[in-house]
Structure 1
Amino acid sequence: MGVVVVTEVLADELPAEAVEEAKARAATLLLAFRHGNQLAFDRALDRLLDEHVEREVTTLLTWIAAEAVRKAYAPEVGDRVLRSMARRAPRDTGAVLVEEDGVDAARLIEAVAAGEVAEVRDLVSATPDTTFLLGGLLQGVAMMLPLLPEGELAGITAELRRRHGGVPAGVPEARAGV
């Protein structure tokens, strides 16, 4: 029996039937750019702007670039290349912090605790490299674990396993590979 994956369609998500057309648009734009055909590039870009499909093509170009980086570099090297590119961006373009020092995991934990969904969204969206943000969050959780009342951790882990289809509640951690 196969695994059924349920996905939620977002309001701005590219409809499945438009993906191939958008890929062709992106490929046309990339070919013109790659071969230095400024006239063809400008014409293709003008057509996209006139048709208001910038989001579709930007999404596909980003996907293509991410795939190229993934295939060309080991994960840790690819991340370094992308961080280096982001650091080279002109300061006045609204550059986003990508360094470890630019991440505020404490503010994220406080926003989550206060139920400030908009602030959590803002913090995550302002951090394209979430490696350090998630690392800080995990460190914070690890520091809080000893403060939990007796038995609370077992209840939390059982609920997480139940929600995410992991090991059923009641199965000893040794058998679960923990």
Structure 2
Amino acid sequence: MAATTELADELPQHEVETAKARAASLLLAFRRGNQLSFDAQLDRLLADHVEREVTTLLVWIAAEAVRKAYAPEAADRVLRSLARRAPADTSGVLLDEDAADPARLVEAVDAGDVAAVRALVAATPDTTYLLGGLLQAVAMMLPLLPEGEGTEIAAELRRRHGGRAVQVPEARHG
């Protein structure tokens, strides 16, 4: 059995799992094109001053992915090609918001047009924005519900999905 020693700048073993979770959250937000989540995760990391450890883990994950996907002689060529194509401004995640049309989705749901709903969802490469727009629409509609309806809807959703009852604040009317 080989003995390992921790270097001065190395991430302590007990913090590796936490850092992996941080890196995974950041990667998921980037992969799904969720700009708000990505920015929030990145801001949290920068505020906690853990960007070095997360960057190290992201590089390790990328290196593992390249190692598994490419033969050794091709891996360096792939990485050099990626480096050459890197945009000058890498401060944001590239998004595909134009394909999402939550207004048409709300109209299709309101009309009971199942085929249109299916077609919209199928035509949206990343449904993050479609569902985000739908969530925004629901939030805009909540204040229009009669008093008590929000609580009844939440209770019905909990019954359907096996959640436990939690007090839901009523929407403000005014």
Structure number with the bigger relative contact order (C-alpha 8 A, sep ≥ 6) is 2
TM norm structure 2: 0.47
Q: TM-score, length-normalised on structure 1? A: 0.46
